[in-house]
Structure formats: C-alpha cells, structure tokens
Chains A and B, each alone.
Chain A
Amino acid sequence: MAESKQVIIDRLQQQILKIQGFKSGSQGQTIDFGLGGMTASFPNHIFPTAAIHEFLGTNLEDAAATGGFISALLAPLMRNGGPCLWISTSGKIFPPSLTPFGISPDRIIFIDLQKEKDVLWATEEALKCESLAAVITEIDEISFAQSRRLQLVIEKSRVTSFIIRKHAEKLSSTTAVARWKISSLPSEPVEGMPGLGFPRWAVELLKVKNGLTGRWTMEYSSGQFHPIQEEPEYIQETRKAV
C-alpha cells in the first residue's frame, strides 16, 4: 500500500511539473553526475542540464571549492566532445589543478575580460553556441532581467550554464534552476596516513526550482563524488529565507 502511495505521489508530481511548464533538461538521455542521493532534490530526480546553475563564491577559498565542484560536474558534460568556456575578469583558475576532477584543461577556453559588461555579453554569445559543453561565468552581480536573457538563449541552444556570483551580499533572484553554495570542510585523513585527505565539501542547495533544498557532505576522490550520507541535513534558517 505504501508503495502504491509513493507511485501515485510521484505521478501527481510529474503532472504538476508539466502544468508548471517545467521541461526536463535532456530529453531521452540523462547524464549521471554521480551526486548520489542528492539528485532526488531535483525535479524528476534528474540533474537539470541546459539550465542556469548559480553558485555563491564570495571569497577565494569558496571560489576554489566551487571551481573544483564545477569541474567535477563538467567531466560528464564534456565527455560528448564539446569544449567549454570559462569567462571571468580575474582569471585566477590554475588549469593543471582541474585534471584530478576528470577533465582535460586544454579543452577549456578561458576568456579573461576587463569589464563586467563584457562578461555578460560574452556569456550570452557563448550560450548561443550549441557546440559548447558548458559555459562557466564568474560575475559580480546579475539581475533578474539579465538572467532571463540568458535563459531564453539556453532554451534554444541547450547549453548548461554555471554562474559563479562573487557579490553575495545583495542576492537578486534569477532564473537559475538552482542556487548552490560550496564550501570546504575538514578532510578526513585516509586510513593510517598523515596529512590531508581527499577534498571534502559542504554542498548546499539554497534554492531549487520545483525541488527540495538541503545540505550534503561530499567527498571527491578517484574521479567521482562520494556522498557521505544519502539524506540531506536540512538547514532551517536558509529554508526560511528562501
């Protein structure tokens, strides 16, 4: 009985999503990002591609963690062959460091710009290009209107966009499907070995369109995510704020 109830709820959820105009990211094939139980937070239990994901990265430490996390997400996206564009004004990413996350840094084209205005322009142009696997944008601020422009472009080209917002103080809402915050956590030493363990992050989903928010602890080793626990630890205060 409990089983069938679950099935009914799932089916009703699907219907609601359809009514709300939600389009699933990639028709037919789904890409496994290895996020484990976390994918359940997303609508249809699928990590949405061909959408905007925004990440909060205010300081360099978080930016490094976010960079690593995004690279790990890029790896399955880039498996189909397309290169990817990394647009920013600071250009602090050190390409060789991305190899452990399963991508070949020579397939990333870095666009280092002077003006914030150009960043948005370049992002929009890049998102028009269907051949790209993904576009990563580091930007100070993005308004709702600007994000909607990008969203319209994406709906045609089906390119996935990752936006790292550097000014997290005044957070305007955008058309992003999810708002993430990645921060480093103390690593767990590998058994019997001194020193640092594998990179470990607190992955927070602060906002998910048609989905559930939550916080997970994730470790990344030997080319894949290792969720420390399947169920999210919900953060009450952020849920209230959303």
Chain B
Amino acid sequence: MKKRYMSIWFPTLLTDWIRIKRPALKALPLVFSDKEGNRMVITATSNEASGQGIQNGMPLADARAILPELEVIENQLHRAPKILRALGAWCIRYSPLVGIEQSDGLILDISGCAHLWGGEREYLREIVNRLRSSGYYVRAAIADTMGTAWAISRYGRISPIIKTGEEVNALLPLPPMALRLDQQVSQKLIKLGLSTVGSFITMPRSALRRRIGNQAMERIEQAVGQKEESFVPIQVPEPYSERLASMEPIRTRKGIELAIEKLLSELCKKLNKDGMGLRIATLQSFRVDGKILRSEIGTNSPSANVQHLFKLFELKIDQIEPKMGIELFTMEAEKVEELNPIQEAIWQSLQSMQDRQVSELLDRIAGKVGTAAIQRFLPQPYHWPERSIIKVASLKDPLPLPWRTDRLRPVQLLKVPEHIQVTAPIPDYPPMVFRYQGLTHQIKKADGPERIEREWWLDEGEHRDYYQVEDEHGKRYWLFRSGHYSSEKTSGWFIHGFFA
C-alpha cells in the first residue's frame, strides 16, 4: 500500500511550552540556556529573540550583550523529549502511528487516515490549527516519504502537501540541509556552489557517493523514495485494538454507550475470528481539551462476548467525564488468551454454561467493587480454626482435601476471639457462668475440652481448650481457655463462635 507521511515541526517547542505554562512571558524575548562544558549556551530561542540576532549555540553572555532584557530559563532542555512525547500521544487521535523525529518534530504515518477528516488539506489544516491555537507554533507537511515531508515542513515555501511522484520536483529548490544531511556534508556542498538540491541530485550516483559518503546518499535515496524508511511509534498499536472517531464531540452517556458497543463488537469479531478471548481491555477516551481518560476492565476467564464485556464497561461509564466532549475512543485488548469457541458451541453442556454465566456475574461484581470482595474457601490441613480454611480467587481450584466432618464448628465465627469473664469450678471443667457483652449466660450443658495446639512451626503462643456450651435459653457458644490452668495467674477465657 502506498504510504503517506506527515511531518510536524515545532521550531520553538520549548519557548512555546513555557509560554503556555507562564503566560506572563508572552511577547518577551526568551531563551533557554544549558551548560555546555564550562559555559552557558543558548539551546532554544523564541522568535522575538532570534529576530534580534540571537541564535542557538551562542554563549549566553553574548546574547545578554545583544539584548540585556533577555528572559533566560536555565537547565530545562531535558524537558523537550517529554513534551514531544506528550504532544505525540495527543496526535494519536489523528493516526495510530506517531513517532518522534529528532528533538523538535513528530512524524505521523497517515496512510488511510486523512479521508476521515475530508482530505489531506483539511487534515493538515485541522492539526496545525489545533496545535497553533493551543500555543505551539508548528509547520507541517505531507508527502510520500518521511524525508520529503521532513524537508518540506522545515524548508518548504510553496505547498505543504506533496503529491505522489512530485517529491523530487518539490525538493529541487531546497537547500542541501533539507535532505537531513550532516552539517559538514551540507556545508561542503554549499562551498562547492551546490546550494540547492536541484544542483546535485541529477549528478551520477557513483560520483556523488564518492564525494559525500554513503550515509548522505542513503538520506537522499530515502527522501526521493528509492529506499524504505521506518520509525518507532511512541505507542505500538496492540494487535487487537479498535478506534472510533466521532464527527461531533460526544457528551452524553448514550453516546459513550454506543461508542463502546461499536468498538466491542468490532473487537470481538476480530477475537472470534482468531479464537481468542480477552482478559484485560482498556478504553481510552480522548477529550477535546486534550486529556486522555483510561478505563480498564478485567475478566475471570477469556471472553469475546460483546454483551458481557459491555456490561463490564457499563459500570465504568460513570467515571468517564466528557466535559467538553470526547472526540475519539480507542479500545485495546491488552491481554488475550485462547478461547475454545467451537467446542463451546457443540458441547453447550449444562456445566460449562453455568460456569460461564457465573464467571460473567463475578466479573461484573469484581468490576464494580473489586476482586477482593469475591471469596471462595477451601480447606487446609490445619487444625487451628483461623488457618483451617484458605481464601482462593479462582472458581476452578479443585478441593485439595475433603472437608472435615468429625468436629462440629460454629456457623458464625468471630474474626478475633473476644475476652469473656467466666466462673469455672475446677481446672479443665467448662465454666458454669460467663459474661459476654454485658449479659450473663448460665451454662446448662457443655462438651469439651477439645484441645487445639498451636502449630509451633508457624507461630508461637498458648494452646486453646475449646468447649461447646449451651446456656439456659438454648443458645450454643464456642468458648476456649487460652493455655493451661494455673493457680498463679487467672487464665484467659474467650468466646470464638456461635453454633447453629
């Protein structure tokens, strides 16, 4: 497929950025300076300053001599890549493939994107206007090759859109620097009197190669489209991702719902074709004011069921604040796993149907209140009551050992045993009376003791002697004495549970 690239150049990236942040600096001559060796050197210049003859690479002292009222921002050069990255992320609304070009530009692979905005001219105007209105001075150009787009955005004078096959013609009047050549090489060419691309591009390749070297030749070939060139996108698109741009910014819940439904049905179609189901999906909503809202859902088992996934996203819609409106939605399946759709269709067995319905239900609950709320318990080979069960997250974990039935356990178990006051006749006898929460319970019947030793290899402390007791009203309790009975100290009695 024929590729189209768009290059965006931010000639005054840093100064524009600081002016957006600090509007007071507007219209003042402004430079950024950074340490280079032992001196401060100018690294970025605003238009006002460069109009006075201040250039990048000039020592700060010289610039101050030219323009004493110069505003200087020190040591902020490291910000440039971050700002570019953020601008690049913003540009993803125009094309999924956005890369960073050197220190002051972005490159977009716009193949098949521009028609959505009504053509390349409108597309380019939209991007440039949006960036300029937000405060960044930009120049942009569209061409078949990255090299030509770069050249036209920096040095072009006539039209920013270069039609297919017109690359060479467009490059002819430009200076050699426009071909992204080394400074040394381009200066050499100018010195030789070859001040435009047109003056040397028609020379025999072998002669030219001898004089300017392989690297420069490669640049020329890339610019005219004789050699492929690629870039690293700042966000590698997921194999399972969908995007939906809206003509008008979306502000209503219904609109967001429709967008999610459409994205999901496209995504699930793809997933179904490959026999995959998603485990984690992310919805990104690009707001008009430049903010990107992320909402993520997870499922317990791979799913490509639109209705189910939609229900999960439905719970997240409340968190999406459209404010001025949302102009683009993207949906990515970040984690996919294999699904067995054919098998499911043939063997629509009762069990698997039930499992699916239940796991979809749990997905919904987990989506709203978090996975921690869902608990399933399996027995553990310990006698200590608190340790005798273990919480598991999965529905499928098999029973590691059978549930014990030889000992009766209370239906309601206090998380932490509570202290009680008792009257016990003689050691190792159940108490006669106990007080719990201000009420006195006369014990009529009792079973015990059942001694449970602490598992010393796990933790330290006293053993417990458990008694099942029944009071005069027939209420049944689980009490225990901590440790041995001794005459020196009063032993601690606790209530731990309530029997049915």
Contacts and interface: CB of A to CB of B under 8 A. Distances in A.
A206 interface: no
A67 interface: yes
Nearest to A121: B368
B476 A104 contact: no
A60 B498 contact: yes
B411 A67 contact: yes
A69 B500 contact: yes
Contacts of B368: 118, 121-122
Given A94-B412, A111-B365, A196-B470, A189 B445 contact: yes
B405 interface: yes
A64 B376 contact: no
Interface string B457-500: 00000000000111011111100000000000000000001111
Interface centre among B353, B365, B409 (most CB of A within 10 A): B365
Contact of B470 (A109, A112, A186): A186
B347 interface: no
Given A187-B445, A187-B474, A64 B499 contact: yes
B373 A112 contact: yes
B357 A109 contact: no
How many B residues touch the partner, as a band? 35 or more
Interface stretch (A18-26, A36-44, A127-135, A231-239): A127-135
A110 B377 contact: yes
Interface in B183-233: none
Interface stretch (A2-10, A27-35, A95-103, A171-179): A95-103
Contacts of B354: 81-83, 131
Contacts of A104: 399, 403
Interface of B: 350-351, 353-355, 357-358, 360-362, 364-365, 368-369, 373-379, 385, 388-389, 395, 399, 403-405, 408-415, 444-447, 468-470, 472-477, 497-500
Interface of A: 60-61, 63-65, 67-69, 71, 81-83, 91-101, 104-106, 108-114, 118, 121-122, 125-126, 128-132, 183-187, 189, 194-197, 199-201, 220
Given A113-B369, A114-B369, 20 more contacts: A63-B498, A64-B498, A92-B413, A93-B412, A94-B389, A94-B409, A94-B410, A97-B409, A97-B410, A97-B499, A100-B408, A104-B399, A106-B376, A106-B403, A109-B358, A112-B373, A122-B369, A125-B365, A183-B474, A187-B476
7 tightest A-B contacts by CB? A68-B500, A94-B413, A131-B354, A64-B498, A186-B474, A195-B447, A97-B409
